[in-house]
């Protein structure tokens, strides 16, 4: 059960936009619209940011958006703010289990 | 307010056993699939196990299959993870998480409980 592939790190300046990719296969990301994204600050529990590829839960800033093309899903954060600095994880349903990405550390310069 | 509170973590020797609990409140526990997810120190999230609403169906990650057992008591609004034959690589913070209405994402997470496997 190998993890989904995410870049280890991304960075951006305040106000800029960044995109984090999440690459899987046709058996997970590409096969279902069950991709979600989580934000995790150090020492805290993960927080849902995007569900089912592109749905934003209430209370999550509209600066966060999700999309998918083929076997790769993406999380875009626009108008970067200092509080966005955190680890981000994608996840996908796959044959009776859930698979996470390895995580991406976002640094706001 | 939805709350998930894990307990039962601690230091255990290799080969030992431990039972984690996750007390749920603020929602109808018996209406939701529930999961365990773990995170080794400095590492990423890893899905461990899930159980359906009435406890009749379970799934496990290959890494824990045959050693861990998920269970629930809907009368007590509590999810459990029974861990046997523990290994050093099981050292992690264990989170319980609520799955949103069969849509395979987690809308609520507990704060986690740390399990350390070491002699």
For residue B115, what are the CA distances in angstroms to A41, B21, B83, B111, B118?
A: 20, 12, 10, 13, 10
Q: What is the pLDDT of residue B101?
A: 82
**Three-state SS sequence of B37-105:** EEECCCCCEEEEEEECCCCCCEEECCCCCCCEEEEEECCCCEEEEEECCCCHHHCEEEEEEEECCCCCC
Q: What is the pLDDT of residue A97?
A: 92
For residues B82 and A109, give the distance between their C-alpha atoms in angstroms, rounded to a whole number. 43
Q: What is the pLDDT of residue A109?
A: 92
Q: Which of A47, A57, A97 sits opposite B61 (nearest CB)?
A: A97
Min Cα separation A84/chain B (Å): 18
Min Cα separation B52/chain A (Å): 11
* Average pLDDT of chain B to the nearest whole number: 97
Report, as an integer, the average pLDDT of B50-77.
96
Per-residue pLDDT of A42-99, as tens digits, reads 999 999 999 999 999 999 999 999 999 999 999 999 999 999 999 999 999 998 899 9
Q: What is the pLDDT of residue A1?
A: 63
Q: How confident is the model at residue B97 (pLDDT cuts 50, 70, 90)?
A: very high
Q: What is the pLDDT of residue A36?
A: 98
Enumerate the residues of chain B whose CB falls inside 8 A of the CB of residue A45: 95, 109-112
Nearest CA in chain B to A104: B44
Residue-wise burial string across A66-105, b where 16 or more C-beta atoms lie within 10 A, e elsewhere? bebeebbbbbebeebeeebbbbbbbbbbbeebbbbbbbbe
Q: How confident is the model at residue B119 (pLDDT cuts 50, 70, 90)?
A: very high
pLDDT at A39 over 90: yes
Neighbours of B107 (CB within 10 A): 18
Q: What is the pLDDT of residue A95?
A: 87
């Amino acid at each position: 059960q190998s993890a989904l592939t995410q870049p280890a790190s991304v960075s951006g300046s305040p106000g800029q936009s960044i995109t984090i990719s999440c690459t899987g296969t046709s058996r997970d990301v590409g096969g279902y619209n069950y991709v979600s994204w989580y934000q995790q600050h150090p020492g805290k529990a993960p927080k849902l940011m995007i569900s089912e590829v592109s749905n934003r839960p209430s209370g999550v800033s509209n600066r966060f958006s999700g999309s998918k093309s083929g076997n790769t899903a993406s999380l875009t954060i626009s108008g970067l703010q200092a509080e966005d600095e955190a680890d981000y994880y994608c996840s996908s349903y796959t044959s009776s289990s859930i698979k996470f990405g390895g995580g991406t550390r976002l640094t706001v310069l | 307010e939805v709350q998930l509170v894990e307990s039962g973590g601690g230091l255990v020797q290799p080969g030992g056993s431990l039972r984690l609990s996750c007390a749920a409140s603020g929602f109808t526990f018996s209406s939701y699939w529930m999961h365990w997810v773990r995170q080794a120190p400095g590492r990423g999230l890893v899905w461990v196990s899930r159980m359906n609403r009435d406890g009749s169906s379970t799934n496990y990650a290959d890494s824990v299959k045959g050693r861990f057992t998920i269970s629930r008591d809907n009368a007590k609004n509590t999810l459990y993870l029974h861990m046997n034959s523990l290994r050093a690589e099981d050292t992690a913070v264990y989170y319980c998480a609520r799955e949103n209405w069969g849509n395979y994402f987690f809308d609520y997470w507990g704060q986690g409980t740390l399990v350390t496997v070491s002699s």
